[in-house]
Structure 1
Amino acid sequence: MSFKKETPLANAVFWAARKGNLALLQLLLNSGRVDADCRDSYGTTALMVASYSGHYECVKELIMQGADINYQRETGSTALFFASQQGHCDVVKLLFEFGASTEFHTKDGGTALTVASQYGHSKVVDTLLKNGANVHDQLNDGATSLFLAAQEGHVTVIRQLLSSGAKVNQAREDGTAPLWMAAQMGHSEAVKVLLLRGADRDADRQDGSTALFKAALKGHNSVIEELLKFSPSLGLLKNGSTALHAAVVGGNLRSILLLLGANADPTLANKNNELPADLTKSDRILKLLHPKISNGNS
């Protein structure tokens, strides 16, 4: 966080809030010469700074001195947002005791719940949900708290959100679902949980790729193994290719073996009439593919 204060005393208040120096903070506030809601040029308040830094007693002192709990800085962030972002559950609970609201959004649509989910702070997520946070909150691009947790592989948070009613297949505006994102990032345990909770194994995004296609391209073998348990499509996708084509392009031998073991068809051509074997010069990969290709195609 960057601070530009208007007066030396305000500067000292911010320093005390950031460092957790309660005695100095009390001295400054009790002097009557500086307001509890003094702020920098971005609208950051001392309460936000103390909340971000996790200094419980300083947060409490500022609140008792009249600091505005729900004040939003230029970006839309509040003290609750910052405490949630940093995982300071005790501060989050304290802010709720004095009337903090979960309804405020940042300029990109973020809320305390979306940011706590993104950073995997499960205790904060639990506290937020118990205090009325909307599990369906989403960023301006459509990313939900569940999507953000899946992107980072935060399995505990994923379970919490799903148990609180999060929609497992709700995609971002570009069509990317939580399962697709978890697969791309290689988070196999997250993929497993999402599948068990009803995620569409063949959901594709705007480019026509599925979770299996992306995992195959990236060589995320543990993800491929989880997806294959749910019999995803091994045929031609909307992008005009197959997961086996993707695995060959990715060059991961284990990925290719997994798909072949699941009966992926090496004789199936893509939209450019190319077989998977046409997409590699690797002798090792070709040896895997050729025994599987029927006479006349090898």
Structure 2
Amino acid sequence: MSLKKESRTDVQFHLAALRGDCERLKQLLDTGKVHIDSRDRDGTTPLILSAAMGHTECVRELLAQGADPACSRTTGTTALFFAAQGGFLDIACLLLDAGAAIDAPSTDGGTPLFVACQCGHLSVVEELIRRGADVNSCMKDGASPLFIAAQNGHEDACLALLAGGARVDATRSDRASPLWIAAQCGHQRVARALLAHGAHVDRLRQDGATPLFKAAHKGHAAVVAELLRHDPELGLLPNGQSALHGAAMFGQLACVRQLARRASRDVTAPTRLRNASGLTPLQAAAAAGKRDVVAYLRSLEHT
């Protein structure tokens, strides 16, 4: 995109849009010296600025005077993208009514639905879905809107996406699922919602780690409890560790307690399961200097 240098009047026009000064916008347009879709060096138009700042009346006026809702910045982001990011439902509706492309992607593949999910703006998420936004679109790294909502802990947005047909186990390019990222981030309610909608409890990321392993080694005991209700794998994983090893090595005593109580049936004692390095959870904890975990696991040997 080739952008010409802004004139002084263009700069004033953009400032009026940024500040929400609708009267000044009208005055400048009436001079005939500015183009309704004049761009700055990043490709930003007055409509994009007003939408991003939540200036509804400016957006309404600019659209009425012919502003193009399809204009995007050099990053591919449109006025609708910024309205969704800011949670400005009324502006999003104005733009959609004016013909804004609902799934216009940024250069990284993110759409307005992605940023609404990222920021937890439920009303915008619901409106975009109602109007036909693609709930299974992907960013360049393969992340879906559901993945982004799960990563940021927005349970209501996750539920709206699932109700709209989002695939519960759609994975990122590294094969991390929405449940996996919710487990890593410690979002218990999101994990519960995903599991209730059929998420695969043992979906592996490419490194061989399950949601349970990540929750355990991060110390998210509430998420571990949710996952344990769905009979996850407790033995050795393709990464050469068990969830119990992960919790033990990182000193996550609350998780160690939960996992030790639910040790896999083919292991006579949880402390006897050996990882790829030949270490039991107790030995792994000792090597990492996790004394409270060592003391707890040793106590199990005498019960």
CA contact (8 A) 1:114 1:138 kept: no
Q: Does 1:287 align with 2:288?
A: no
Distance 1:183 1:28, change over 3 A: same
Report Cα offsets for 1:73-132 as digits up to 9, x if no partner. Answer: 211111111101111001001111111111311110111111111111110011111112
RMSD of the alignment, in Å?
1.5
Report Cα offsets for 1:24-78 as digits up to 9, x if no partner. Answer: 1111111111111111111110000000001000001111111111112211111
1:294 CA displacement: 7.8
1:7 CA displacement: 1.1
CA contact (8 A) 1:186 1:223 kept: yes
CA contact (8 A) 1:5 1:11 kept: no
CA contact (8 A) 1:267 1:293 kept: no
Report Cα offsets for 1:232-288 as digits up to 9, x if no partner. Answer: 111111111100000011102111111112235221101111101111233322221
Aligned to 2:279: 274
What does residue range 72-221 of structure 1 map to in structure 2 within 5 Å?
A: 72-221=72-221
Q: How many residues align?
A: 292
Aligned to 1:237: 237
CA distance in 1, matches of 2:294, 2:107: 51
CA distance in 2, matches of 1:64, 1:96: 14
Q: Does 1:12 align with 2:20?
A: no
Q: Secondary structure at the match of 1:266?
A: helix
Report Cα offsets for 1:175-203 as digits up to 9, x if no partner. Answer: 11000000000101101100111010001
Distance 1:55 1:270, change over 3 A: same
CA distance in 2, matches of 1:138, 1:188: 24
CA contact (8 A) 1:84 1:92 kept: yes
What does residue range 242-261 of structure 1 map to in structure 2 within 5 Å?
A: 242-261=242-261
CA distance in 2, matches of 1:106, 1:189: 30
CA contact (8 A) 2:179 2:199 kept: yes
CA contact (8 A) 2:103 2:113 kept: no
Structure 1 stretch 260-269 or stretch 50-59: which is displaced more? 260-269
Aligned to 2:267: none
> Where in structure 1 do 4 or more consecutive aligned residues deviate above 4 Å?
none
1:291 CA displacement: 3.4
1:8 CA displacement: 1.2
Question: What are structure 1's unaligned runs of at least 5 residues?
Answer: none
> In structure 1, what residue type is equivalent to 2:220?
H
CA contact (8 A) 1:241 1:271 kept: yes
CA distance in 2, matches of 1:136, 1:200: 18
The TM-score with structure 1 as length reference comes to 0.95
Question: What are structure 2's unaligned runs of at least 5 residues?
Answer: 265-269
CA distance in 1, matches of 2:14, 2:130: 31
Structure 1 stretch 185-194 or stretch 263-272: which is displaced more? 263-272
CA distance in 2, matches of 1:283, 1:25: 67
The TM-score with structure 2 as length reference comes to 0.93
Identical amino acids, percent of aligned pairs: 43
CA contact (8 A) 2:212 2:232 kept: yes
